[in-house]
Each structure stands twice: as C-alpha cells, then as structure tokens.
Structure 1
Amino acid sequence: MPCRDTVSWNPMIAGYVNCGNFETAFEILRTMKICGFDLDGYTFGSILKGVASAYRLDIGEQVHSMIVKMGYAANVYSGSALLDMYAKCGTVEDAYVVFQCIPERNSVSWNALIAGYVLVGDLGTAFWLLDCMEREHVELDDGPFAPLLTLLDNTEFYMLAMQIHGKIIKHGRAFDNTVCNALITSYSECGSIEDAKRVFDGAVGTRDLVTWNSMLASYLVHNKEELALKLFVDMQWLGLDPDIYTYTSIISACFDGAHKNHGKSLHGLVIKMGLEQSVPISNALITMYLKSNNRSMEEALLIFKAMESKDRVSWNSILTGLSQIGLSEDALKFFGHLRSVVEDIDHYTFSAVLRSCSDMATLQLGQQVHVLALKLGFKSNEFVASSLIFMHSKCGIIEDARKSFEGTPKGSSITWNSIIFGYAQHGQGNVALGLFYLMKESRVKPDHITFVAILSAFDLYGRAGCLNEAKALIEAMPFEPDAMVWKTLLGAYRICGDIELATQVASLLLEIEPEEHCTYVLLSNMYGRLRRWDAKASVTRLMREKGVKKVPGWSWIEVHNEVHAFNAEDHSHSHCKEIYLALGGLMEEIKRLDFVTSSKVLMHDVDRVDECIDSTLCLG
C-alpha cells in the first residue's frame, strides 16, 4: 500500500495476535511508532490482547507506559484491554488500579476484573464485584457467571451455586451455552448430579457439543458409567460428531473392566473414524486396557507400538501398567528406554519406577532413581516422596522411610498413607496407629487408603481376633468401602478362620470384581488352611468356569547389583540345582523344629515343595 495510516496498521497487528504470533505483532507496533504513525485505543487493545495470551507482563508494563504517555489511559477500549492483561497475568492489584482509573466502565471492564480475581482464586472479591455490578445496574451478560462457577467445585459451595443459578435466571442468561455448560459442571462438582441433569434437560434446543461433554463428564465423576454410555449412544442417534474430549471421556467409562465389551466397541469406533493416531485417544485406550480386570497388557502394547507420535503420558501409561501388574523387571527395562526418548520425565514416571524397585526390593537401583529424582528437582513432590517411603519400607529400611517422610510436605494424605503402610508391613502397629492420630491432629483428611493402611497395621485386628473392632472401623469410614477395604477384611477373616463372614465378604467382592483372581485365591487359601478340601476344590472349579487364572507370583533378589527373578516351582535359573538343594535343607530344618504343625502350614503345600525339590534334584 503506497498510503498507509493507523487504520491500515491496526488490522495487521490484530491479525498476527489472533494467529498467536505475538512477537511479530509487537515488531509491527514498534515499526509504527518509529515511522511516526499515530497509535490509538484499538492499536493498544490488540497488542495487549497478545501480551495477555503470551503472559508477557514485562512487555505489558512497557505498553502501559506508552498508553499513559500518549493520553489513552482513560480510553475505555485500551483501558479494558490493559485491565484484562494485568488480570490474566495474575497481578489483580494492578488490574484493580487500572479499573479505578477508567471513567466509564462497561460490562467488559467488570467482567475482566472478575475473571482476574477468579484466576487467583479470590472467591470473596469476585462475588463482591458481581454484587457491585448489580447495584450499579451494569448489564450482566454471560461474562461474569461462567468464571465464577468454575470456583464452585466442592460440596460446601452447593448453596452458593444455587444462588448464582438464581441470578442467572433473573438476568435471562439460563440458556447461554457458556453459562449452561458451567452450571452443569459446577453442580456436578458440588455433588448434585440431579441438578446438573435438570440444567442439561432444560437446555433442549440450545445444547452444543460442550453441553453434552459436560454432562458426560458429570456422570463419570459420579461413577455412573451406564448413564454415560447411554448418553454417548444418544449423541450418536442425534448425529452429533464427538470430539477428542468426548472419546477420551467415554473410554474412561470402561476403565474398571465391567464394561470391557463396550471398551472394545469404542476401540473399533475409533479405528472406523480414523482417530487411532490421536495421541489423547490412544492414551485413553491404553489406560482402559491396562485398568481392565483382565489386565490386557498385550492390547495396550499394540496400541503403543502403533502410535506414530507419543507423548509423556503414553510412555508413563505403559510404565505404570507394567509396574501395576507385577512385571517389574520389564518396567525397569522400559524405564531405561523411556529415559533415552523422553526428555521431561515427571513425578508419575518416578512413582512408577520406584514402585517396581519396591516390588523387586532392589535397594541400590531405588537409591539411584532417588538421586535422579533429586537432581531433576522432585525432592518436595509428595508423589515421589510417597514412592520413596514405600520403597525403603519394602526393602526393610523403615528408618530411611521415616527420614523421607519427615523431609517432605505433609499437606495431603498421600505421604501419611505410605508411612502408615510402611510401619504396618514391619509389624509396628502401635506406631502406625500413632501416626494415624497425628495425621488427624494435623487436620489432614484421611481417605479410603488411610483406612486400609490402618486396618492392615493389625492385619485388620484379625490376628488378635478383634474382628468387631475391624468392622466398626469400616462402618466409621466417611465413604463407601471399596474393593481394597473388603479384600483387607477378607484377609483378616481368613486368618481368623471365620468361614461364614469370609464367604459373605468374598461374595460381595466377586460381584464388584468378578475377574479379579485375588478374591478366589484368598478364599481358597482359607479353605485350605481349615483343611476343607472340597470347598477349596469348588473355588478352583469356579475360577476355571469363569476363565479366571491366578497371576503367578514372582520374587526378586538383588545379589552384587544383579537382579534374579523366579516364581513358584521355577526351574529356569542357571543355579537351579544348588537353589533347590539349599531349599531342601531349609525344609528339613522346618520339619525338625515342628514349625509346620505349630503354624498350621498346609501339609498339601509342604508335600508339593518336597516333590518339586525331589524332581529337580533327580533331573539335575
């Protein structure tokens, strides 16, 4: 253009800002200034929008100086943009000063200031500003309501959410999509799925994809997977095209394994829609297969290997999966590969690899991982600290576990649970219980893991025969007991030989997790301990009928910095003959001391050990 003016330059700045190219937009602004072109409120408004999106407070302050110098401080457009910039950069005090200097404030100015206080979590000031808007008769659009609702994310805010809903209806904004979607999410997070559903049902005709996704996520937050799956089917019937968020959400509905067939159908739909290379969707599918009760590691690995692009979540998912299903040796090898590919490993990575070190009791390797975690700045991370506590206690060094606990923040239950579990594993129930009381004195809220840890500290009071106390503790839990709690209780009943109660708990567990082998094994072991061989055989039959297989237990021992792995009746080790010869000597000593009889160890199992030793030595 041979003849340029401010009106010509402004769209160029706005265009680059809208494309996310803030640096070029700022260079154009500097060129305008050098060439002597006038800057106006629209110029500053556009550049400040870019500053806010890039969180460049330093440049924003320079632009602010230019605005004051050129006399645009009172301009509504540049003033509101300046206010928005300070608010989004987290300096709400400066935003409020700018707000006070704007002579004629409009709803944009008010909304920007409220959003700023919401961003820093100042709920009180944000609500006070909303009341001020009403008192000054400023027209309320959807601007202030949606940000405010994002702060109402706990059951204690339920009444406040209802008040905001009343204001929304009063000002005629109930059918604005942004407000409607925020209301659904807020009610859900405040614990009222019924109110969330009422808002969703009332938005017929105005729902967009975000509305459906919000309701879908709400069902999943409240563990209503069946309703979430039905909602997804309704979306399909209405011809709505799900986005990545929809797919990742609905796939998570199949995480528990109860809906594994639906999960496979969703996997097929993902392939049909050509979305198998979407990293978030592939990550969700990997997690789904890993969390299903049958632990479909093969399917998860196939998806992982087929991914053309992988992110940190992809790698962590496989690492965590290997660790959780007991393939700790494979997990450690995978960690070595991960380190050569992924630059920015996070606390999830360390938590998973430290768990594998715990399972294998590889103290030296665990200490090396600890040093790496410290080097990368994870010293105060509670997840890493929790894993370190667990690793040290599993390796038999409870003193180091306590040191890790004392040297980390204790604001949540995560580290407390680990140290309580640690002392439970070491048979120090009194110390574990003392830590539980100290946890409550520190005003840290216990969760279901805490209660499992406390119950485990005394074998759920089972070894002392205090099952009534165990039951009372479970009934006192401020939430519904999950499968982990019931498994702990079943273990206690197994120890005490209470067949009737053990059978009741086992039946409940088999309804919750019909494909989980641990329940069958615990029940079978109890029957065997009581020499009820017919009942033990019936459990074995039931496992066979349902296709449930016992996952082989592995043990590891670290000798001279080398890890040796073996499972029951294993003959694969190169020193197999010597190992079984030593084991035979130990078994003879056990029998000589009459430990078998006094401890009621199953003679069936002892005979199997003898047979295994004899066959190994004969083969040798």
Structure 2
Amino acid sequence: MIRGYSRIGCPKYAVSMYVEMLEKNLKPDHYTFPFLLKGFTRDIGLECGTGIHSHVYKFGFDSNVFVQNALIHMYSLCGQIDIARGVFDLSSKTDVITWNAMISGYNRSKKFDESRKLFDAMEEKRVLPTSVTLVSVLSACSKSKDLNAGKRVHRCVKDYKIELTLILENALIDLYAACGEMSVALGIFDSMKKRDVISWTTIVTGFVNSEQVDLARWYFDQMPERDSVSWTAMIDGYLRLNRFKDVLMLFREMQTAKIKPDEFTMVSILTACAHLGALELGEWIKAYIDKNKIRNDIYVGNALIDMYFKCGSVEKAVRVFNKMRGRDKFTWTAMIVGLAINGHGKEALDMFSQMLRASVTPDEPNVAHYGCMVDLLGRAGQLREAYEVIRNMPMKPNLIVWGALLGACRVHKDVEMAEMAAKQILQLEPENGAVYVLLCNLYAACNRWDNLREVRKMMMERGIKKTPGCSLIEMNGVVHEFVAGDLSHPQSEEIYSKLEEMTEDLKFAGYLPDTSEVFLDIGEEEKETALNRHSEKLAIAFALISSGRPGITIRIVKNLRMCVDCHHVAKLVSRVYDREVIVRDRTRFHHFKHGSCSCKDYW
C-alpha cells in the first residue's frame, strides 16, 4: 500500500499507512523506507523527512544502500543538499546509483561545480558511470557552459563503451549548443538514428542563443512535432532581436496549431505587446490567461504591469498591481518607473514610500537614478545644477544621463551646454544619429544656420544618416506601421485625404505649423509639407478614419522624439475631436487630453 500511494503521488497517505503499520506493531523491512521516501514531495519531505530518517536509524537500516539512496534523493528534493551530502559521505560509495543521486541533487540545487567535482571523485574511486551519470554531468557542464569538462565527459562515452541512448545524445547536443558549438551539435543531431521533440528544440534554442534566428526558424519549420517549449523558444528568439511583429505572428500560428501556451509564453507575448503598444492584443492575452487558468505568477503580473504602462493605460496597470498576491522589487520598480514616465510624478513618489513601508529595500543608487535627478533639474531649468550632479556622480555617466541634460538644453535653448553634452554622447556612441538631429533642431530654433550647416556636413562626412521616423498604431488587433511620407499603406489615399481635412479643422482652431525644427534648406511652404507627412500625423489620420465612434483613445508608439509641431497637432486633435491621444516616443509618454499634454510641454 505504501508503494502504491507513493507511485500515484499521494505521499500523505503513504505516511499515514506507515504510521498505521507501526501502530499495529509491524516493523518496516528494507523495502519500506525506499518506497516511502521516493514518493515524497518537497513539502512532505520538509514536514516528515527528519522524523523518517530517525526511524531509519532506529530500525537499523542506515547502512542499507537503497535506503541511503532514497534519503539522498529526499533531502536533495527538499533543498537540504548539505544533509544529503552528509548521508552520501557516510555511505559505502560502491553503488553507482548513490553517486547518481548525489550528482542529480547538486544539479537540482544549481551547484554545478560540485556535480563535476563529484564526477571526478567517482572516477578516482573507479566507480563505472552509467548513461544516467553522464546525462547528469553533461547537464551540469551545459548549465555552467564548461565546454572542456563537457568534452571530457563526451570522451567517457567511448572510453567506458556506454550505449548512446536518445537521452544521452540529447544531453550532448544540449552541451555543445549551450557552449555555442553549433557545428558539433548539428553533427550529433544529423547522425542520430532517432530524434524527438527535445532534440529538435535543443537545436532551435542553440541557434536562438547564437542570434541566428532565421536558421532557428528553418529548423523550427522542419520539426515533425512541436510542443509549447518549442514554440516559446522560437518566440523568445524573435523577442531577443526586437522582432516584435514576428513574435505576434508566430503566436497566432501557435494558436492555429492548438498548442496551449504556458506562463513563459505569455510573458514573451506581453513583452512584445508592450513594445508595440498593442493594448488590444495585450488585453486579449490577459483574458486568455484568466479564462485558461494559466499560472498567473509574479513574472506574468510584472509583464502585465509593464505592458499596460507602455500602452499608456495607467489605471489598468495599478489595478493589476493591487490584485497581485506576491510582489518583488521588479514589481515595485515597474510601478514607480511606469507612473513617472506617464507623467504621474507625485504618485510615483507615493509608490516609492509605499515600497519602503512594505520593507522592500530599494537598489543602491545607480546610473538610472542619477539620470532621473538630471531630468528633474533640467525640467526646472537648473541646467548648471544638473551638470554638477553629473560631475559628482560616483560612476561614469552613460547615454541616459547625458541625454537627459541634452534634452533639457533643447527646451531651454542653452546651445553651449548642449554642445558639451552632445560631445560627451558622441564619445560614447559616435554614430548616434539622434544627437546630430537634436543639435540641428536646436541650431534651427536659435537661427544659428552656420552651426546647423556645419553639423549637417559632419553627418555627411561621417556617413551618419537620420533614422526615419516610424509610428506604430494598433487597430482591431492588427499593428499598422507608418513612416514619414509613407504611401505603402493600402488606405494611403484615404489617409492623406483625412490628413488634409484634419489640418484644415485644426487651422480653424488656431493651428499654425511650427517649422522651427525643420532644418532642410527649403522654402517655408515646402517645410510645412514636410511637417505634414510626419509618421505620427499619418497614424492619427488613420485612427480617425478607422476607430469608428468618437471617444476611443488613439495610442501611438513613435521610435523618435516627437517634434514640436506634431506635439502641437496632437494637443489640438485631443481638443477638436474630443479624443484622448497617447503617444510613447523615445523619451517619455505624452497623454493629450482637452488640448493639453501630461508632459507640460517638456520633453
């Protein structure tokens, strides 16, 4: 009965049967403890493990190799690896299964160095390994990316004439793929007589990790069968290279294939939605998680908070936060940063105080915190004080810090300090086209045309090209992309017609094109035409003809900083058409409502 309960995963009943057996004055034999202990879960092990161990001594089975193996397994499962090692050290160490149990325990505790050391000791004791031993040690080498140790284990397969099983071959592929030796991994893969989904997924993951995502996709497409791990591996590959549209397309294929995603898949999809500003799809994912009872852990909660904030939906992010049962420091950080970049500075400070009251220790001040200080001082026009903060930083300032100062210089038109900040940024990143453009905008706004021409000439000499403006907008679950002057959209004719109509409506409301940041050497009329074709204006026009009834929020993600004219247009659109417009540019969020913006015209 004890064996039966253990086999079907009912360890509590197995313990009850053991207690009942003792109450009937029946003594355990050498089968009782192995069957009982091997069925233990972590919780039952922590609750009853030491008590059962004392009974092992009481009834004289402490020298029984099968009981010793079961104890090592049980203590390893409970995370009590030092006690497991104590049992191992007192054992005879003649049985390979004892060594396997201890190596497996170290792997479970992520002590991979100890696994390899134990294998070395095993060879010294001349205990012959089995394929199970080699699989465990190869796994340790793979996780710690120790290629040399892994190669030595690989040689043991030939030296000890161990039969190559599917599990062992998969472990070898995993080792070489994890260590970036994809040619060797493919050689083993190609020579295999039989492959399973793990073999294929390991190859896909190997190419993903080496950033050869298109090659990973080729092998993914050849797979005879795929499970949720395979799909998630491929999705993760696209996510790592910021190919967010491919992430969503692959997820739709996964849905068509009727493969149920897990919480890891959901985190990847929510991250893609966050970057694309795809709130509708993000909302569908949340509903899918709730409906299909997918494990809604801290990682999913954090991803939902990040997605809502990056789509400008502050209230829903706060709602998710309030419903979370567990929170970590990343949850609090996501809330504080999310509130701050969406223009809720007071609430961000309140959240920080709430975090301290919850006894969560904030990270040590890092470069990002100094960037926030520079940004705050810059907003207040205290540029000299902001510069002093940078000079007195305990670490080297990065692009974020100098970028915050440069942005403040643009707003307050401090050309000299802007030139200094730009010089620092270009030392860190010589091909940062956005810095050249911002300098040109500042020179144009200050009518310093000679300086502007000098920067333009420098850009041409250094081969620096302005990054094309690109705006993303989600409509009915589909993400549409616009670039400046775009004519590729199937509704282009209708969009440009709406844009003309919108411009006329805004002119009645007092709109005058602001050409101060157009640094092309062309006439005023041509400058206005160039402004009118900016990607976010096209996205707004598309939203007005596609979103149906009035009142629906327009959400746009812009890859560059919003220009002054587009900012002014968005403010007027929010008032004239009674629409909330939310734009996430490369600097911050802009919530346009009733003719004003959450950034208070500082960005």
* Structures share fold, TM-score greater than 0.5: yes
Cα separation, 1, equivalents of 2:369 and 2:138? 39
The unaligned stretches of length 5 or more in structure 2 are: 378-385, 406-419, 441-454, 535-603
Change (3 A) 1:116 1:344: same
Cα gap change, 1:147 to 1:390, in 2 (>3 Å) = farther
Contact residue 424 and residue 457 of structure 1 kept, 8 A:
no
1:342-376 per-position Cα deviation (integer Å, ceiling 9, x unaligned): 25333233333323322221222322332222222
* Superposed counterparts of 1:275-286, under 5 Å: 275=194, 277-286=195-204
Q: For the structure 1 residues 108 and 151, does the alpha-carbon distance in structure 2 shift closer, same or farther, using more than 3 Å as the test?
A: closer
- 1:96 and 1:335 map into 2 onto residues whose CA distance is 51
Give the whole-Å Cα distance in 1 for the aligned partners of 2:391 and 2:76: 37
Query: Which residue in 1 is equivalent to 2:401?
Result: 492
Q: Are 1:377 and 2:331 matched, yes or no?
A: no
Aligned to 2:317: 401
Does residue 98 of structure 2 align to residue 179 of structure 1? yes
- Secondary structure of the corresponding residue to residue 474 of structure 2: strand
Work out which of the residue numbers 525, 546, 556 in structure 1 matches 2:472: 556
Q: Secondary structure at the match of 2:103?
A: helix
Rounded to whole Å, the distance in 2 between the matches of 1:227 and 1:435 is 49
Deviations 1:381-431 (A, max 9, x none): 434333322221111011210101111221545644543442354355675
Q: Distance in 1 between matches of 2:150 and 2:39?
A: 37
User: How many angstroms does 1:190 deviate by?
Assistant: 5.2
Contact 1:121–1:151 at 8 Å: present in 2 too?
no
1:34-67: CA deviations, max 9, x gaps?
A: xxxxxxxxxxx6xx75665345xxxxxxxxxxxx
Question: How far 1:433 moved relative to its partner?
Answer: 6.5
Show CA shifts across 1:562-620 (max 9, x none). 5312457755334668979979x99xx99947568xxxxx999xxxx979949999xxx
1:540 and 1:226 mapped to 2: Cα distance? 41
1:234 aligns with 2:188: no
Q: Which residue of 2 aligns with 1:123?
A: 46
Cα offset, 1:306, TM superposition: 0.9
1:216 to 94, 115, 138: 138
1:270 and 2:189 matched = yes
In structure 2, C-alpha distance between the alignment counterparts of 1:233 and 1:612, rounded to whole Å: 67
2:27, 2:424 → 1: CA distance?
73
Does the aligned pair in 2 maintain the 1:556–1:563 contact within 8 Å?
yes
What is the CA–CA distance in structure 1 between the aligned matches of 2:393 and 2:165, rounded to whole Å? 47
Structure 2 residue 38 is the aligned partner of structure 1 residue 112: no
Distance in structure 2 (CA, Å) of the matches to 1:184 and 1:612: 70
Amino acid at match of 1:104: K
1:504-545 deviation digits (Å, cap 9, x = unpaired): 9x7xxxxxxxxxxxx886x6766887899999999989xxxx
How far did residue 103 of structure 1 move?
1.8
Sort the Cα spacing of 1:191 and 1:274 in 2 relative to 1 into closer, same or farther, 3 A: closer
Change (3 A) 1:535 1:115: farther
Task: Calculate the TM-score normalised by the size of structure 2.
Answer: 0.63
| Correspondence for 1:291 | 209
Query: Is the counterpart of residue 199 in structure 1 residue 118 in structure 2?
Result: yes
Q: Distance in 2 between matches of 1:528 and 1:228?
A: 51
Deviation at 1:264, TM superposition (A): 3.4
List aligned pairs for 1:16-415, cutoff 5 A: 49=3, 52-55=6-9, 87=11, 92-101=15-24, 103-123=26-46, 125-150=48-73, 161-173=81-93, 175-187=94-106, 193-204=112-123, 205=126, 206-221=128-143, 223-227=144-148, 229-231=150-152, 233-235=154-156, 238=159, 240-241=162-163, 243-246=165-168, 248-249=170-171, 251=173, 259-260=179-180, 262-275=181-194, 277-293=195-211, 296-378=212-294, 380-412=296-328, 415=331
The offset of 1:201, in angstroms, is 0.8
- Structure number with the bigger relative contact order (C-alpha 8 A, sep ≥ 6) is 2
8 Å Cα contact 2:106-2:115 kept in structure 1: yes
RMSD of aligned alpha carbons: 5.0
Any conservation in 2 of the 1:385–1:408 contact (CA below 8 Å)? Answer: yes
Q: TM-score, normalised by structure 1?
A: 0.62
User: How far apart, in 2, do the equivalents of 1:103 and 1:96 lie?
Assistant: 10
Q: In the alignment, is the contact (CA less than 8 A) between 2:472 and 2:480 conserved in 1?
A: yes
- Determine the C-alpha separation between the residues in 1 that align with 2:51 and 2:186: 48
User: For residue 232 of structure 2, what is the amino acid of its counterpart?
Assistant: N
CA contact (8 A) 1:460 1:470 kept: no
SS in 2 for 1:349: helix
Distance 1:196 1:92 in 2: 31
What are the superposed Cα offsets for residues 304-324 of structure 1, whole Å, 9 maximum, x if unpaired?
A: 221111222222333333344
Distance 2:468 2:23 in 1: 70
2:190 maps to a residue whose letter is I
- Once the two structures are superposed, residues 475-507 of structure 1 have per-residue CA deviations (whole angstroms, 9 ceiling, x without a partner) of xxxxxxxxxxx9x95533555577999899x7x
> In 2, are the aligned partners of 1:279 and 1:311 still within 8 Å (CA)?
yes
Identify which range, 238-247 or 557-566, moves more after superposition. Answer: 238-247
